[in-house]
């Protein structure tokens, strides 16, 4: 699906083939999410090569499409799940229990009930608890399986304050309390297997020092936990099996950044991997990482058609059929996404003056805005783009991560379709919702009520 540069460390929006994307919209309509599974594989292999000894879990919430989960499972990834729904998707994608980690953040009772049920059939699954309360609630349900503790290292990183989770009190047990919480859990019969922390999303090469400090704290904590677990074992005189005496893994989370802007460099994986290994130090436990965005961001684009062009007071507005309900990152995080006019680029001799579709297309500052009644519903403001015309197809780049996953039905707007590419093949992976889908749950409630 790209013209060149298949296995470069980053795929830019300009690398996608404009004519082929246009054909997909001819077949499946607009707006349309397109995800290239081969690119997902490339991203996985590059990261796995940089962390040869690590266990890699894919953070499902970045893009939970079944095709993505199956592809990453085939590559050898485990799956980190944020909800019962994600665990269900993981199991449906063929993951064995041992490949599934469920990270419980203030877990609803319904989730815990579901997980403990699933644990009956999949006793190898791992639950990561973020508070002593969650451990109690698991015990109440009879769970004494594999337990990992999420700790709050007191350090946050990331591209926006809303995704800097490391220091937010919401996440994890304060690191200084972790040893006693885990010792207590081990004494109650839980199979204590790991410690975990996730400092946030968007970690970049210039934040390596923060990363080093964070991993070093986790390494230190792992040594303390191991010591406490061993001491607790010898006290109770229990058999010093692996499960009861040592942590199996130290999970340093995800947050591997990807460049969204043209002038941003891709993450230097080798230096992140070196810094991680070095900072972790001598710990008798496997390193686990759980990237989400890194595998899928540049594997996806959102295609959207221009339906309105108008001169505003200070800017030209290109109105499109996708909006903040389709891709919320610009509205929610002020996130930058590249935008490209595929109609202009797909035109024969595009770039040559006097050619058909590109004819007379000056580059002018434009605001690309969606159909939602919110002023935040814009993909870019005053961005230099070829002058849009009604019917043009635009591509919004780096839409593979936290794109469809965060899509919603605000303004009673159905969610778009998703197509996956796999080599020469393309197929519908999730159908477009209809207005009927949007109103169904209410209609069904009326049926139950009446
Ligand atoms: C969101 C999340 C990740 C993945 O973050 P990315 O920035 O997509 O790599 C990993 N672990 C946990 C616990 C998360 O919540």
Distance CA 119, CA 117 (A): 5
User: How far, in Å, from the CA of 197 to the mean position of ligand 1?
Assistant: 10
Residue 443 class from Cβ within 10 Å (0-12 exposed, 13-18 middle, 19+ buried)? exposed
The tokens describing 137, both together, are: 């609630």
Whether 103 is in the pocket of ligand 1, judged by its Cβ within 6 Å, is yes
Distance 58 CA to ligand 1 centre (A): 8
State in Å: Cα 133 to ligand 1 middle: 22
CA of 86 to the centre of ligand 1 (A): 13
Q: Which of 127, 166, 254, 402 to mutate to test the pocket of ligand 1 (most atoms within 8 A of CB)?
A: 254
Determine contact, residues 58/80, Cβ cutoff 8 Å.
Answer: yes
Structure tokens at 23: 């054909």
293 lines ligand 1 (CB under 6 A): yes
Question: Is 380 tagged catalytic?
Answer: no
Sign of the torsion angle spanned by Cα atoms 41, 47, 50, 56: negative
CB atoms within 10 A of CB 43: 27
Under 8 Å between Cβ of 285 and 196: no
Q: Does the beta carbon of 61 lie inside 6 Å of ligand 1?
A: yes
**Count H helices, E strands: the chain?**
14, 18
Name the nearest CA neighbour of 58 among 72, 70, 40. Answer: 72
Q: Which of 186, 193, 295 is nearest to 251 (CA)?
A: 193
On whether the CB atoms of residues 383 and 395 are closer than 8 A, the answer is no
Domain positions in the chain are: 37-292, 297-440
At residue 305, the 3 state secondary structure works out as: strand
Tokens of 148: 């990992």
Residue 329 in contact with ligand 1 by CB distance below 6 A:
no
**CB 158 less than 6 A from any atom of ligand 1:** no
Angstrom distance (rounded) from CA 449 to CA 445: 6
Protein fold of 37-292: TIM Barrel (3.20.20)
What region does 255 belong to: left with phi over 0, alpha with psi -120 to 50, or beta?
Answer: left
Count the residues in the chain. Answer: 450
Q: Which residues pair with 177 in a beta bridge?
A: none
Residue 59 Cβ inside 6 Å of ligand 1? The answer reads: yes
Of the CA atoms within 13 Å of residue 78, those in its CB half-sphere come to 20
Residues 418, 430: Cα–Cα separation, whole Å: 5
Residue 123, helix vs strand vs coil: coil
62 in ligand 1 pocket by Cβ < 6 Å?
yes
Q: Which two tokens stand for residue 80?
A: 């980190």
Neighbours of 222 (CB within 10 A): 22
Buried b (16+ CB within 10 A) or exposed e, 354-384: eeebbeebeeeebbbbbbbeeeebbbbeebe
pLDDT along the chain (450 residues), means of 10: 62 96 98 98 97 97 98 98 98 97 97 98 98 98 98 71 69 94 96 92 74 92 93 63 74 95 92 92 93 98 98 93 98 97 86 55 96 97 97 98 98 98 96 97 87
Which superfamily is assigned to 297-440 in CATH? Lyase, Ornithine Decarboxylase; Chain A, domain 1 (2.40.37.10)
298: closest CA among 55, 44, 128? 44
- State the distance from the centre of ligand 1 to the C-alpha of 292, rounded, in angstroms: 6
Contact 344, 365 (CB under 8 A): no
- Mutation to probe ligand 1, out of 78, 148, 153, 255 (largest number of atoms < 8 A from CB): 255
Predicted local confidence at residue 156, as pLDDT: 56
Q: Is 267 helix (H, G, I), strand (E, B) or coil?
A: coil
């Amino acid at each position: 699906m790209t013209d060149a540069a298949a296995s470069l460390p980053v795929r830019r929006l300009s690398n996608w083939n404009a004519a082929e994307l246009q054909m997909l919209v001819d077949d499946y309509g607009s707006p349309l999410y397109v995800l290239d599974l081969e690119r997902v594989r490339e991203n996985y292999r590059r990261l796995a090569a940089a962390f040869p000894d690590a266990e890699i879990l894919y953070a499902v919430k970045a893009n939970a499409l079944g095709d993505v989960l199956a592809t990453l499972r085939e590559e050898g990834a485990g799956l980190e799940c944020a909800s019962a729904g994600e665990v269900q998707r993981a199991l449906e994608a063929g993951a064995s229990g041992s490949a599934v980690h469920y990270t419980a953040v203030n877990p609803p009772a319904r989730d815990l009930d579901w997980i403990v049920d699933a644990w009956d059939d999949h006793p190898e699954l791992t639950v990561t608890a973020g508070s002593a309360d969650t451990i109690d609630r698991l015990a109440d349900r009879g769970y004494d399986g594999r337990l990992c503790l999420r700790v709050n290292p007191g350090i946050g990183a990331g591209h926006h304050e809303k995704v800097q989770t490391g220091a937010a009190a919401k996440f994890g047990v304060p690191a200084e309390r972790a040893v006693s919480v885990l010792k207590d859990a081990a004494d109650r019969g839980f199979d204590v297997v790991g410690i975990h922390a996730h400092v946030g999303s968007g970690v970049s090469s210039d934040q390596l020092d923060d990363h080093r400090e964070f991993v070093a704290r986790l390494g230190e904590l792992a040594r303390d936990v191991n010591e406490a677990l061993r001491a607790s074992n010898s006290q109770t005189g229990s058999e010093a099996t692996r499960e009861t005496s040592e942590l199996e893994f130290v999970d340093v989370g995800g947050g591997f950044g990807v460049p969204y802007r043209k002038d941003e460099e891709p993450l230097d994986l080798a230096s992140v991997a070196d810094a991680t290994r070095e900072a972790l130090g001598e710990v008798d436990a496997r390193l686990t990482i759980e990237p989400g965005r890194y595998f899928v961001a540049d594997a996806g684009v959102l295609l959207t058609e221009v339906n309105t062009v108008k001169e505003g007071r200070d800017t030209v507005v290109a109105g499109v059929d996708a909006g903040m309900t389709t891709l919320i990152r610009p509205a929610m995080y002020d996130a930058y996404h590249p935008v490209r006019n595929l109609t202009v680029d797909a035109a024969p001799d595009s770039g040559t003056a006097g050619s058909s579709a590109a004819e007379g297309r000056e580059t002018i500052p434009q605001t690309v805005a969606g159909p939602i009644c919110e002023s935040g519903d814009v993909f870019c403001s005053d961005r230099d783009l070829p002058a849009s015309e009604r019917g043009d197809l635009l591509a919004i780049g780096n839409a593979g991560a936290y794109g469809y996953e965060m899509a919603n039905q605000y303004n009673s707007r159905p969610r778009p379709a998703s197509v996956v590419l796999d080599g020469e093949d393309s197929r519908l992976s999730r159908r477009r919702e209809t207005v009927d889908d949007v109103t169904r749950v209410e209609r069904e409630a009326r049926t139950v009520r009446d």
